[in-house]
Structure 1
């Protein structure tokens, strides 16, 4: 199916304090933006709401400086309070239709797809973009339902026009193949956060994506 091109965020960074391996999260995020990251999701699974909000506020000051949208992972209160561009939720989080009702001002609502049947759900219909999760299994996601692979991206692309974000062990070696299969965006974590030079890592990934698009 022809993709909806209203999602111009080719390189999508998912970041947390733990992912940065002892380095300052704000420094990593800014370096990534300078290297070409188009959108950032703050994902903090093991901190209090108070700490999450404080991190989100500091990160938003950075993303606002560069005009980069900030997405909050699965915390509606933090997303609304910080004035984020949007929120990303998964299968065990608040369903997108409820997010819409609670936060009419949400501009970017992401939803992770783990099974093909979920494409036909009201949750998917309410989302602005779909996360294909994971494309390749990762040690950090122990509850994986489907490892989509490149063939999975291709199959989902045939079934929906919604923007697709490929996540799960994505890097500069497989990003081009994912884009060719129908992904609109490549979401990375360690490929940038754990890189010795986050700016260079982001720049190389962005170049791969732009060369295909």
Structure 2
């Protein structure tokens, strides 16, 4: 069984950076990842929405090696097959992807499974089916993911975080300005795309976010 469970997983979810080439200002994924990790990112997700899978494998192997060396959680979005091929630490699925029970059957117990619920009922069902953590959002309005839907707000996040026993990460429109409120609502960390990937100084943007998250968790008694 993987060691990415319990306290280690909660710590790894503090600052969860998701790749997005459209926001990277032409910079390679590996460069963005390296700078984000240097700034304090604790998890990295490969989000591959377009382009050949052969290229995804090449990029993914480089990111996987970087994360392994840095002790950072490496997750693949949506694609269970890609996650398995890359020997990723985890895979993250949503309501329109392969369901959590089938995902767990494919990856076994050696891989972390994350899930993005839209309702409390989905969150509870995912936990019962073996999800290791939940990504809840969009907490705030966001244009990064056009299919993300309207903002769910802090109250919805708090409702889910209070009802499940697995870690919850807030995602959607999160910046260093509002990240503390997400933690106070019950999240163990924040997942970001544009706030880090789209920043002019990726390392500094990650550093600022990590500082805010750490302070909010300390204030909460974590």
Task: Mark the runs of 5 or more structure 2 residues left unpaired by the alignment.
Answer: 1-5, 218-222
1:190 to 160, 182, 194: 194
Structure with the bigger percentage of helix: 2
- Mapped pair 1:53 → 2:69: no
Residue in 1 aligned with 2:207? 203
Matches within 5 A, 1:83-122: 83-121=87-125
Which of 11, 17, 21 is the equivalent residue of 1:8? 11
Q: How does 1:156-195 map to 2 (within 5 A)?
A: 156-195=160-199
Question: Residue by residue, what CA displacement relative to the aligned partner does 1:127-149 show, whole Å, maximum 9, x if unpaired?
Answer: 00001021123223333445221
Say if 1:36 and 1:206, in contact at 8 Å, map to a contact too: yes
Task: Tell me, yes or no, if the aligned pair for 2:137 and 2:153 is still in contact at 8 Å.
Answer: no
Q: Deviations over 1:19-57 (max 9, x none)?
A: 312012111110110110001001011122222111101
**Counterpart position of 2:155:** 151
8 A contact 1:115–1:145 mirrored in 2: no
Give the distance between the partners of 1:119 and 1:83, measured in 2 at CA. 26
Aligned equivalents of 2:59 and 2:74: distance in 1? 12
**Does the CA contact (< 8 Å) of 2:45 and 2:77 recur in 1?**
yes
Question: What is the alpha-carbon root mean square deviation over aligned residues?
Answer: 1.5
Aligned to 2:47: 43
Q: Distance in 2 between matches of 1:109 and 1:143?
A: 21
- Does 15-24 or 37-46 show the bigger shift? 15-24
Conserved 8 A contact 2:168-2:187: yes
Distance, in Å, in 2 between the alignment partners of 1:38 and 1:119 is: 23
Matched, 1:62 2:66: yes
Work out the CA distance in 2 between the residues paired with 1:35 and 1:135.
23
Structure 1 stretch 152-161 or stretch 72-81: which is displaced more? 152-161
Match of 1:127 in 2: 131
TM-score of the superposed pair, with normalisation by structure 1:
0.92
Instruction: Classify the secondary structure of the residue corresponding to 1:187.
Output: strand
So what's the TM-score if we normalise by structure 2?
0.89
Cα drift, residue 162 of structure 1: 1.3
- 2:3 aligns with none
- What SS does the aligned partner of 1:195 have? coil
2:148 and 2:120 map into 1 onto residues whose CA distance is 14
